[in-house]
Amino acid sequence: MSLQIENLKVYYRTLAGDVQALDGVTFNIADGEIMGLAGESGCGKSTLGNSLIYLAGRMKYVEGRVLLDGKELPVWNIREMNHHRFKDLSIIPQYAMSAMNPTRKIGKMTAELLESRGIDSHAVMPEFKRRLDLVGLSNDVLGMYPIELSGGMKQRTVMVISTLLDPSLLIADEITSALDVSTQKAVAEMLVEFRQRGFVKSMIVITHDLSILYQVADTILIMYAGKLAEKAAASTIINSPRHPYTRLLISSLPEVGVTYAGKRLTGIAGTPPALLGPPEGCRFRERCPFAFEKCLEEPPFIEVEPEHFVACWKEV
Amino acid sequence: MTEKAKSTAKRTTGKTSEKSDAPVTPAASDIPSERRAKKAAVTSTGMGNAREMVYFAIRNRKLVIGLIIVVFFALFAIFGPYFAQHKPLAYTSPPGHAPTLSHGNYFGTDYTGRDIYAQFVGGLRLLFEVGLIGGSIAAVIGMIVGFTAGYKAGYVDEILTMITNVTLCLPVFAVILVISSYMPVKGVVTEAIFIGSISWPWAARALRAQTFSLTSREFVSLARLSGERSWKIIFKEIAPNMSSYLFMMFILLFGGAILIAATLDFIGLGPSGTMSLGQMLQYAVSGSALVLGLWWWFVPPGLAIMLIVGGAYFMNVGLDEVFNPRLREM
Amino acid sequence: MRRYFARKLITYGITFFAAVTVDWAIPHMMPGDPIAALVGRLGVQDQATADALYRSFAKAFRQDIPLWKQYFYFWQSLFHGDLGISIMQFPTPVTTLISRSAPYTLSLLIPAILLSWYVGNKVGAMAARRKGLDNTVLPISYLLTATPYMWLAILLAWLFAFIWRVFPIGFAYDATMQKGWTWAFIVNLLYHWFLPFLTLFLVSLGGWAIGMRNMIIYELEADYSHYLEALGAPRRLVRKYAFRNAMLPQITGLALSLGAILGGALVTEIVFSYPGLGFQIFRAISNKDYFVIQGIFLFIIIGTLVANFIIDIAYVLVDPRTRIGMQGGQA
């Protein structure tokens, strides 16, 4: 499968105006690619993930196209998108711990969900049980209520349910954020295994944790203040990033096995711009050590090397 | 609290209010008021942005309409009696007359010759008295019990919850009946005290749930760590965040007190020597107003109660939307 | 779960004990002497006879022994089902009075509670779905729940019994009717029953509709609803789950609302002179018939506690969370 996003803009409606959370992003994901989507809080990564699946509440579609396997996805139309949800694209939500109906047994809930989508639940149940086994959950889970499971177990159950119909695209929204480090590793590895076994074709893994992405993702897309900053293979991003923001990000990560004595851990000075009436030009220029006059004009997101996209005048 | 701790607490409060948009898993208690209390605790950030709130308040139709109704009757209660040409209990008018401008019987008279208008405006005053006093007493008791139970938790909580549940279970109406019959002569304030002392349980419950959700937040732990005394924490950290909720709770208690008072008065357990709206209805029924068709006797009192209490409830819904941004429609 | 029920039983036990004690204390706290009043009613001229009567009545009513013994005997008679004798309607025992009037009150309460709960929940659920419906249902429901029961009773009586003579004015059945299980009698009973029932039904309806609407909105915003939507579940399924989950607090709400509707039944019976417990209590208060007040009060307490207990059981059966994860206090 392949995903093509063209100039997607999704804003949030507020009384004070539109918050330009996702302001014109364009990129592609190839078949079988696990793309990590990283950035700080408020950069628009969750908006991107959620707008693909369900444009809820305050989100407002402004413009842009989404093409899955060459077919246009009507993301602006909640009703029509229903054909595609769960079957063509699916999501493991950020709130996976509380994503299941607390008063319904898990097996029953899944069966009802499948039936409501017009799928014969009996045909799918054996596969469901097999996959639960795969992630280390016993079949007894089907007869339990969510309250009887631990956080990690619920996470895994939701992962299985979300991928039950073998979607082409899976969006994993901050699925490791609430977990401890060893569970994080297990969950990340599970994602890769899902792809290996063909449960999922491609993935967007949304997180702010670059270290996980390094383990799991093929490519990483860095976002900043609603715009794309850089996209490249994971190793390239970590080892030889080109966008100033990415470089500062990577260098602000402490190294394992190195002791710092008498040195302070530096972050990136400043804060991201407000997205209600964002500044002109490159959104990073206020904090960028390399900014010059050209930066008042918005830099295009272009391919500077094969499969390496950067949005920075310095790198053009 | 030291200045340093205060500023740290402020920053933490700021962060917490961001996280307040994160989902909250419903706990095992499922009383409607408690669920809403949890939801309110998560979404409201106290008297955050005052200007923004006023902006919303003015535009909220429910709040405005409710407020207008209640204020209208309140003004009527305050100024109405000055226009009354008779005393409520005086037999100074021709009996059984329909509303007329002559002789000052704007609302007509009852069948013994008493002026309805005078009774009505007097009754309105009594209604507001009982509502405000009774509601306040219930609110205060509920606050104390709810806060303490929610904040202290553990043993203290168990005892207080037991007391709350017992009071809740007691067919308190029957209790009031009984105790009221013991006091043949009483005033409005006494009645209000009775009412206040039986309506607090559900308020205590809801406030306890609210307090629970708030005490689990960081800024309270911080205050505790810095050695702040319990009641100080309650007043300075928790209460401001719940002020909006408390206010809405008070409005509900106000409405409830009015209804209970009306019922008590109707049965004959009202204050002595007065003519409240409930008592008007009582006399109307016993005075065969139905048979005689004296609709002006029984329609106004009940109508006023319905509109005032209904208006107060409306205000509450509107206030809820103003204080909890999540509920606002775009 | 055992702990959950244990706590409930303890609460009920304490409530019962407290209520019975207050109940017993009534005649002893009332101003005036009920026995003297009773003797007075008999209109005996001769003082000596009056004194003798007074003594024998005092004995019958156990007023001649120390207070704490009276309290003890009270509990004793309670367990024997003896609630004393009415002063005003001497020598009718209170239990007889109760058994005569209770069916009428229950016939009003039970259908009114159940129907208003059911219909109110359905209406509230519908209002939560459609904005247009919501804009009419909400104000009406709030006004209904703010309406004093007796006022609505008076209005209904006035409109339907006086102006448009569709229903009778009051009482349980026409005085001219032959009592007995004949079809005609039953119809007549229903005829008289309808307006009081309607009063209770309408006012309670408002409260349930509002509650349900709010609960459903809350459930529709819950994470599990969002998850289902994200996976493309039809609105039908999401709403079905929301409805089921919203019902739970409504069940608990039943217990909380009992007090209010009891008061409502009381005043409605007064307006319609409907011979239920409420009407009895009203007459007893006016006539200072303390033992009747005591007895009916006790009956109400026991009834309320039993109802509460039933509701608690129902709740545990319906909500898996309480069944599984009850860890004393909050989860």
Residue C327: band (very low, low, confident or very high) from pLDDT cuts 50, 70, 90: very low
Residue range B122-168, pLDDT digits in tens: 999 999 999 999 999 999 999 899 888 877 777 888 888 888 888 87
**Per-residue pLDDT tens digits for B188-246:** 888 899 889 888 998 998 888 887 777 666 566 666 677 766 666 656 666 666 788 88
Q: If you measure CA to CA, which chain B residue comes closest to C245?
A: B30
Residues 6+ apart with CB under 8 A from B270: B191, B261, B264, B276, B278, B279, B282
Query: Which among B259, B306, B317 has the least Cβ separation from residue C143?
Result: B306
For the stretch B6-26, pLDDT in tens is 333 333 332 323 232 222 222
CB of A271 less than 8 A from some CB of B: no
Round to whole Å and give the CA distance between C134 and A123.
41
Q: Do A103 and C244 touch (CB under 8 A)?
A: yes
CA-CA distance, B97 to A187, in Å (whole number)? 83
Average pLDDT for A211-231: 90
Q: Which residues of C12-21 are buried (b: 16+ CB within 10 A; e: fewer)?
A: bebbbebbbe
**In this predicted structure, what is the pLDDT of residue B43?**
41
Measured in whole angstroms, how far is the alpha carbon of residue C289 from the centre of its chain?
A: 21
Cβ-contact A121, A110 below 8 angstroms: yes
Q: How many other C-beta atoms are found inside a 10 Å radius of the C-beta of residue C165?
A: 9
Q: How confident is the model at residue B314, as a pLDDT?
A: 92
Say whether B330 and A13 touch across the interface (CB within 8 A): yes
Q: Does C143 touch chain B (CB under 8 A)?
A: yes
Amino acid C111: pLDDT: 95
Closest CA to B253 of B290, B207, B209, B216: B207
Mean pLDDT of B39-56: 57
**Contact check, Cβ <8 Å, C223/B23:** yes
Distance CA A177, CA B38 (A): 24
Read off the pLDDT band of B172 (50, 70, 90): low
Band of residue B30 on the pLDDT scale cut at 50, 70, 90: very low
Mean pLDDT, residues C282-303 taken together: 80
User: Distance (Å) from the C-alpha of residue B60 to the closest C-alpha of chain A?
Assistant: 14
What is the spatial distance between Cα C76 and Cα A149, in angstroms, rounded to a whole number?
51
Mean pLDDT of B70-95: 86
Looking at the complex, report in whole angstroms how far the Cα of residue A48 sits from the nearest Cα belonging to chain C.
Answer: 14
Chains in contact with B, where contact means 3 or more Cβ–Cβ distances below 8 Å, are A, C
Of the ranges A114-118, B156-160, C79-83, which one carries the lowest mean pLDDT score?
C79-83
**Structural contact between residues B127 and B258, judged by C-beta atoms closer than 8 angstroms:** yes
**Region A33-47 average pLDDT:** 88
Provide the pLDDT confidence category of residue B182 given band limits of 50, 70 and 90: low
Q: What count of CB pairs under 8 Å joins B to C?
A: 186
More confident residue, A274 or C142: C142
With both helix axes pointing from N to C terminus, report the angle between C183-220 and C235-272 in degrees, rounded to the nearest 10.
140
| pLDDT mean over C173-184 | 75
Contact residues, C window 147-186, toward B, CB-based 8 Å cutoff: 147-152, 154-155, 157-158, 161-162, 169
Q: State the sign of the Cα–Cα–Cα–Cα dihedral C212, C213, C215, C221.
A: positive
* C-beta of residue B60 within 8 angstroms of C-beta of residue C278: no
How many Å lie between the alpha carbon of A98 and the closest alpha carbon of chain B? Answer: 6
pLDDT exceeds cutoff 70 at B49: no
Min Cα–Cα distance to chain C from A301, Å: 30
Q: What is the mean pLDDT of chain C?
A: 83
DSSP string, B134-178: HHHHHHHHHHHHHHHHHHH-HHHHHHHHHHHHHHHHS-HHHHHHH
Q: Which residues of C317-330 are buried (b: 16+ CB within 10 A; e: fewer)?
A: eebbbbeeebeeeb
Flag whether pLDDT at B186 surpasses 50.
yes
Question: In 3D, which of B234, B36, B45 has the Cα closest to residue B151?
Answer: B234
- Residues of B with Cβ-Cβ distance to C151 under 8 angstroms: 281, 298, 301-303, 305-306
Four-residue CA torsion sign, C50, C56, C58, C61: negative
* pLDDT averaged over every residue in chain B: 76
Burial of C110 (0-12, 13-18, 19+ CB in 10 A): exposed
- Tens digit of pLDDT for each residue in B269-295? 888 888 899 999 999 988 888 888 888
What's the CA gap between B328 and B317, in Å, rounded?
11
- Report chain B residues whose CB lies below 8 A from the CB of A13: 330
Distance between CA atoms of A1 and A202, rounded to whole angstroms? 7
Tell me which chain A residues have a C-beta less than 8 angstroms from the C-beta of C324.
145, 147-148
The answer to whether residues C282 and C269 touch, using CB atoms and an 8 Å cutoff, is yes
What's the pLDDT score for residue C9? 85
Identify the band that residue A70 occupies on the pLDDT scale cut at 50, 70 and 90. Answer: confident
Please give, rounded to a whole number of angstroms, the shortest distance from the CA of B265 to a CA of chain C: 11
Higher per-residue confidence, A41 vs C243? C243
Name which of C22, C267, C305, C318 to mutate to probe chain B: the one with the most chain B Cβ atoms within 10 A of its Cβ: C267
The percentage of residues in chain A with a pLDDT greater than 70, rounded to a whole number, is 98
Buried b (16+ CB within 10 A) or exposed e, B276-310: bbbbbbbbbbebebbeeebbbbbbbbbebbbbbbb
**Average pLDDT, whole number, for chain A?**
88
- Please state which of the ranges B156-165, C164-173, C310-319 shows the lowest mean pLDDT: C164-173
- CB atoms < 10 A from the CB of C298, how many? 22
